[in-house]
A = this chain, B = another copy of it.
Amino acid sequence: MSEHIAACIAVGELEDFIHRVLLRCGTDEASADAVTRALVTASRMGTDSHGLRLLPHYVQALKGGRINGRPTLAFTQRLAATGYLDADDGFGHLAGYRAIEHAIDMAETAGIGAVAVGNSSHFGAAGCYALAAARRGYIGLSLCNADALVSLHQGQTPFHGTNPIAFAAPVPDSPPYLLDMATSSIPWNRVKQYRAIDRTLPPNVVVDAHGELTTDPQQAASLLPLGGADFGFKGAGLAGMVEVLSATLTGMIHGFRMLPMTGEDMSTPRGVGHFFLVMHPGAFSDRETYERSMQVYLEDLRAQPALEGRQVLAPGDREWRCQARRDAEGIPLDTANLAAYRQLAETLELAPPMLV
């Protein structure tokens, strides 16, 4: 899938450019900070689809009015460990980081804290917010609904979004354990990429317009839930769990009724919902017990025999390696992304990003 790498951009320069673009589009500082942080976090870890590639889309959504760049977030703490954050149609990234902070505050006193977010928008990579908790020493869970792209088990047409589950846990003297997964096998982006290069998809990940399995990206009309045609009831059930927690707790529309992220309407807010949960690792036994157990578990995991030429990794290991490489060498931009970034600079009358 490697497209031609046209240039590299240093992490600091990417941050600076994204931030300038957002402010120029009229966002407040807090929104620009949060979106920049989330996009750069994702791209450093290698997930450009949820990182730097999103910037032109967000600019469109800001200009169209779908996303409110100067929102007034309102947090209502309902009980000692739960609350609701109204995102005022602002960026999901701002809502996500704020919600995690509220959840941490509650977890600090109650052991656990959960925040449901409503009237929000796309928040980039779910992992960013779980990770924000883990970086502060807490266990974090981050869920989000999305517009319909994934079939139900034995269904013909898209119903759930790719409804991601992200889970992060702190590890002493190491980067966190970090799982960040869609509840489909592949993202819709992959279908579009494979269409562009006319490459065959793996079996059992998409269906055509009649709900029949296909590996032809041109025929793909819906993603299958994780587990494919035989065991997709599991992926669909997990997507449902994400939907229930992201939408129904706060009365948001569920994904099937949501405007498509990439649709033509860039003026109507989409009403995305998120759900965040934070736990203090010492709130059940004590932190030392947790840390010792976590180390034993990860040592055992990484010592498992792998298939020939492969390697057994803990969730996050691949991302931290990529992050170390990209922090040192810069983040690669393919021709399409480079062109998009130059176009942004030109349209917004900003200095283009410096490349390495």
Contact = CB atoms under 8 A, between A and B. Distances in A.
A-side interface size class: 35 or more
A311 B152 CA distance: 10
A83 B257 CA distance: 39
Contacts of A155: 304-307, 312
A245 B141 CA distance: 12
Q: Say how many copies of this protein the assembly contains.
A: 2
Given A111-B80, A240-B177, A244-B294, A310 B154 contact: yes
A84 interface: yes
A112 interface: yes
Given A167-B241, A249-B284, A254-B293, A156 B82 contact: no
A320 interface: no
A236 B315 CA distance: 9
A293 B248 CA distance: 5
Contact of A301 (B79, B159, B292): B159
Interface in A109-133: 109-116, 118
A284 B80 contact: no
9 smallest A-B Cβ distances: which pairs?
A82-B111, A79-B111, A248-B293, A179-B237, A251-B289, A154-B310, A82-B283, A116-B284, A80-B110
6 contacts: A82-B111, A83-B111, A152-B301, A157-B304, A226-B226, A233-B315
